[in-house]
Amino acid sequence: MNIPQSGLSKQEILATLQAFKAHDMDWQGGKVFGYTYSPNADSAEVMKEAYLAFLTENGLDPTVFPSLLKLETDVVRMVINLLHGDANAVGHLTSGGTESIMLAVKTARDKARAEKPQITQPEMILPKTAHAAFHKAAHYLSVKPVVVDIDPATFKVCAEDMERAINENTILLIASAPSYAQGVIDPIAEIGVVAQKHNLLFHVDACVGGIHLSFMRKLGYEIPDFDFMVPGVTSLSCDLHKYGYAAKGCSTVLYRSKAIRKYQIFACTDTTGYTLINPTMLSSKSGGPYAGAWAILNFLGEEGYKQIVQTVQSAAQKLMDGVSAIPELRVLGQPAMCMFSFASDSLNVYQLADEMAKRGWYLQGQFSTPLTPRNLHISVSFGNAHSVEALLKDLRECVEIVKAKEPIDSDAIKMLIGAALQSPDPEAAFAQLAVSAGLAGTELPSEMAFINEVMDNLPDPICNMFLINFFNDLYV
């Protein structure tokens, strides 16, 4: 595609853009149980107008746009107060949970470089259930991830196991509130004791839970301490564009004090250009997410968030009860909020997800591990809470359809994988396997069950290679 010789009209452009959405999942219809978090119509409109009002303001330099400094400071302070930080706590807005997590790891690494120069191979200790963004941070920042197994019944990590993994290279402990996969909260208070005992930084990933859990607590739900109330917690990540219902592109990373946060900030006067000072990873960044977050927090207020959380929790409980009532399905663990996953001992859940997708539903497949079965994940939010009865009806019908289907031959797939592993050119062999699985070319696959079955049986390094090669071909 080339830039057109003559520009298109506004009508042509908007019509074409709308047409591009033809194959997107219908998130506005309440059938997508992941990725999107939408508030009510009035809130969305206010947020959209605020976002557009600051679309072109640039967060790179607060001396040029002090309005963005005001917006960021206000939003961060509101979140700090919600998460029981005191007057010494500080933080920044980021583009999302991944950036917040990467900054927390970068801060721990640079603090260790300054204060513990004897550590030349830094390590961070994290549960198996920690978000993949921590592994991305480890990859980018050369911090070794030391992964600790979780209890296969509760899906929580044990503080004693975390402590046993500590050695002279450890710079950071990590836990989740909640972990995404099964929606359970790690024992934050117990790990906080370990962090204090060993004088280690301790980051809590509350990207999905920070806002929602806080308002559950205000509503009287029994929520274990997970935030700055725990003395050992030194940093938190908390997204606003998930259960804060802000527009995409807005998270927070928070620290107990400026003494820790200073290791996050980068400055450079070493070139002939302008002085560069970046509190976060991005330099230029639109003020839209700042204003959108500020608007939604102020428009909803505490009462608005409480109403949303009560609605969502009621819907989530009804959905979990409904799933549990289907004999072939079982909810995993005891979810702390409105995120959960379910598995089956008799059905292929990947086939079930495909059947649900044919009816417009999106349920997120998750691969098995030695401690967790393959499962489907559901995130209930205000935008899909009204769809619970319809989802359960279709889920019950799709279970019966899958029961009558020809099962995927997992043994044959394992034989193909075994042969590929023994090939003199394993990359070429796995490339051919990717073609047969539908992971090749520039088109997205229409069904995922066979592909997921293949990937679920692959060793992680090979599966990662599969996905990297597929995405390398998928994008220009």
Give residue 467's pLDDT band: very low, low, confident or very high (50, 70, 90).
confident
pLDDT of residue 476: 82
User: Residue 319: what residue type?
Assistant: L
Average pLDDT over residues 458-470: 87
* Short-list 376, 389, 366, CA closest to 344: 376
Give residue 246's pLDDT band: very low, low, confident or very high (50, 70, 90).
very high
Query: Does residue 410 register a pLDDT over 90?
Result: no
pLDDT tens digits, residue range 110-138? 999 999 999 999 999 999 999 999 999 99
Q: 186 with 177: CB under 8 angstroms?
A: yes
- Domain boundaries, given as residue ranges, for the chain: 50-296, 301-404, 410-474
**Any idea which of 307-321, 367-381, 423-437, 457-471 has the lowest mean pLDDT?**
423-437
Strand pairing category for 339-343 and 144-148: unpaired
Q: How far is 330 from 316, CA to CA, in rounded Å?
A: 15
Average pLDDT over residues 288-295: 98
Query: Does residue 424 register a pLDDT over 90?
Result: no
Average pLDDT over residues 248-258: 98
User: Residue 442: what residue type?
Assistant: T
Within this chain, domains 50-296 and 301-404 share the same CATH topology: no
pLDDT of residue 197: 98
Average pLDDT over residues 420-447: 77
Give residue 413's pLDDT band: very low, low, confident or very high (50, 70, 90).
confident
Maximum distance among all alpha carbons in the chain? Answer: 69
Q: 99 with 260: CB under 8 angstroms?
A: no
The CATH-assigned architecture of domain 50-296 is 3-Layer(aba) Sandwich (3.40)
Q: Which fold has domain 301-404?
A: Aspartate Aminotransferase, domain 1 (3.90.1150)
Q: Looking at the chain, how many residues does it have? A: 476
Q: Report which of residues 442 and 300 the model is more confident about.
A: 300
Average pLDDT over residues 221-227: 98
**Integer CA distances (angstroms), 417 to 232, 281, 432, 467, in order:** 45, 40, 11, 15
Query: Does residue 414 register a pLDDT over 90?
Result: no
What does pLDDT average to over the chain?
95
pLDDT above 90 coverage of the chain, percent? 83
pLDDT of residue 180: 97
pLDDT above 70 coverage of the chain, percent? 100
Query: Does residue 439 register a pLDDT over 90?
Result: no
Average pLDDT over residues 306-313: 98
Average pLDDT over residues 245-254: 97
Query: Does residue 442 register a pLDDT over 80?
Result: no
**Any idea which of 195-199, 385-389, 458-462 has the lowest mean pLDDT?**
458-462
Q: What is the sign, positive or negative, of the torsion defined by CA atoms of 408, 380, 218, 77?
A: positive
pLDDT tens digits, residue range 66-121? 999 999 999 999 999 999 999 999 999 999 999 999 999 999 999 999 999 999 99
Helix axes 288-324, 210-218, angle to 10 degrees: 70
